[in-house]
Structure 1
Amino acid sequence: MSKIHSFFPTLIYRADEAAPARLITDLEEASLMLAHEDEAGIKWCEKHGYSGYTSYASLSDLPGSIAAFKALEKRLDLHVSKFIKALHWDIRGGKPICDSLWVNVLQEGGAHSSHIHTNSVISGTFYVAVPPGAGPIVYEDPRHALMMAAPPRKQNAPRELKSHISETPKPGALLLWESWLRHEVPVNRAEGLRISISFNYVIGPKD
């Protein structure tokens, strides 16, 4: 008698109604305001060829300066705590702390190349505006570097066995993952703006 076990899972947390409609509207207005008024961020995007706007390199404390982002952070804290429980982490009396949070306003033709989030433990994205055709976020099997001569997966392989997994978001959706998980955003083919808020969490001491 034989049996196949499944070990070492990669968990991705999704909540489709992580914020009420009013907060989503407030976040969209705040994001577009920043995209027009954050001169340092605009210059950084122009210098680095970013198609659209991001506050990643210019504004370090959005929750401390804009109420809508603070309201979102409070909601994120609850979801991150639930995800940590699902991961069965022993955080030794510590607590998850939002270390950074930034806006992404991606224009048509823009993309985020494959990357990880260093110096954090949980990363994620909250989606504010996702026009039709904006495309998914794509996660890569973290074992790729170890597969060596392994054959490719069949096209009809079960989702949990594929080399890349796509999650198509919608406004109000939240995705969380462990920060070492490589991911990318394919080219935005929508005519409208794809607006999202990304963030990183670390484990810090309790108050």
Structure 2
Amino acid sequence: MPKIESLFVTRLYHAALSEFAPKVDSAELEASCYSIAEDDEAGQEWCEENGYPGYTSYASLTDLGWRFPIFADVIKSLDKHIQAFAKDLEFDLDDRELKLEDIWINILPEGGMHASHIHPHSVISGTTYVSMPEGASALKLEDPRSGRMMAAPTRLKNGSRELQPFIYVKPKVGDVLLWESWLRHEVPMNMADDERISVSFNYTWS
């Protein structure tokens, strides 16, 4: 009998942010995101100059945990999720820690999208979801081998999930998703009438 096994696994971590304390109130977090977006003139200008849909604080603010206590609580919880994921990945961290490099707000309006990308120079990246109205985009993850498949046939649409070239993950408000930073991902067009709000982040090895 032939032996077939799966090699080089790509892991995706999916949990409720509240699984680790402190508990974060989602309504307060949403209000804080809007408050920051309204006051962040530098971020608004960057979004306009770069044709960025909606709002992101990625290019303007680096101190969300200091500005709003609720973001400090988000970071404390994320630190614990990162530790759990790093353990699952069996990383040998050599007595060092994965530490938060940056954290930013994304407010995506109807019709907005984030093109496919990776997060270079980071180890683990992820997102926690603040507002996901009906019709809001899922997260789209791409098989990291896709650029090397060349003449490979397409996969059966009803085939095994682990063999699909793209995976769509529809998180709920309060969820956190983590993946290794080399994994290419995107946010397809937001088809909801309301804004899709998330908080993304990168962790590095120091």
* TM-score tier (shorter): over 0.9
Alignment of 1:94-173 (within 5 A): 94-173=96-175
1:41 corresponds to which residue? Answer: 43
Q: Calculate the TM-score normalised by the size of structure 2.
A: 0.96
Q: Does the residue aligned with 2:52 lie in a helix, a strand or coil? A: coil
Question: What do you get for the CA RMSD once the two structures are aligned?
Answer: 1.3
Which runs of 5 or more structure 2 residues have no equivalent in the other structure? none
Matched pairs, number: 204
1:16 corresponds to which residue? Answer: 16
Structure 2 counterpart of 1:175, which letter? Answer: L
Specify which of 78, 85, 88 is matched with residue 87 of structure 2: 85
Q: Does the residue aligned with 1:152 lie in a helix, a strand or coil? A: coil
> How many Å separate the matches in 1 of 2:36 and 2:120?
25
Q: Does the residue aligned with 2:85 lie in a helix, a strand or coil? A: helix
> Is contact 1:18-1:174 (8 Å) kept?
no
> Is contact 2:140-2:167 (8 Å) kept?
yes
Question: Displacement of 1:18 after TM fit?
Answer: 3.2
Stretch moving more, 59-68 or 107-116:
59-68
Q: Percent identity?
A: 50
Which runs of 5 or more structure 1 residues have no equivalent in the other structure? none
Question: Displacement of 1:16 after TM fit?
Answer: 3.1
> How many Å separate the matches in 2 of 1:22 and 1:180?
28
1:201 corresponds to which residue? Answer: 203
Q: Calculate the TM-score normalised by the size of structure 1.
A: 0.95
Question: Displacement of 1:148 after TM fit?
Answer: 1.2
Stretch moving more, 173-182 or 13-22:
13-22
Stretch moving more, 54-63 or 16-25:
16-25
Q: Does the residue aligned with 1:69 lie in a helix, a strand or coil? A: helix
> How many Å separate the matches in 1 of 2:86 and 2:23?
26
Residues 128-170 of structure 1: CA deviation (Å, up to 9, x unaligned): 0000000200000000111111111111111111000010011
* Divergent runs of 4+, >6 A: none
Structure 2 counterpart of 1:116, which letter? Answer: I
